[in-house]
Chain A
Amino acid sequence: GENVEQHPSTLSVQEGDSAVIKCTYSDSASNYFPWYKQELGKRPQLIIDIRSNVGEKKDQRIAVTLNKTAKHFSLHITETQPEDSAVYFCAAFDNNDMRFGAGTRLTVKP
């Protein structure tokens, strides 16, 4: 089955700086890669996703890149703001199930 590893587990940046979170996956059949933001006590919220036929996708300050050969994908947040502070999860989906990474706790210091 799929195995997703996520790094770093914690990340602290200054407001306005960029943040990068990286994930690797093991199953080459995985074809869909979403990223979720989860604030304390709340549900995971989809912030961006990418499919295996695309190498990069951007939505305002958020971008995701996918390298299928190396089996890794990354989340990039530019011009970070204190409200970006949360736990971020990557996930990989193949034909059978969705596997999540362990999460990255991002703290943006004002």
Chain B
Amino acid sequence: GAVVSQHPSWVICKSGTSVKIECRSLDFQATTMFWYRQFPKQSLMLMATSNEGSKATYEQGVEKDKFLINHASLTLSTLTVTSAHPEDSSFYICSANPGGIYNEQFFGPGTRLTVL
């Protein structure tokens, strides 16, 4: 299957700092990538759809100024959590579909963010 990587795998930061998470499609190009958030023992929650070369589409209730998404190339999307607070602590997972956005979806290994 297609491979999606994320970096870092975990990060601990102080409240008020910004954290950038990278998502890369290693063996395919992805014009669209997805960012999810997962709380303990809960399923995934779609945060936003990242579109290469254009603005991301955010789901209702997700603050676009808080979660900045940049999809600068066909293999890289970044999520920046700005002025992070303890309530932003979560597991962030990115995803991409090599065969088009309607087909099989592959996920990165996730990034565990802990804000102190």
Q: Do A and B come from one complex?
A: no
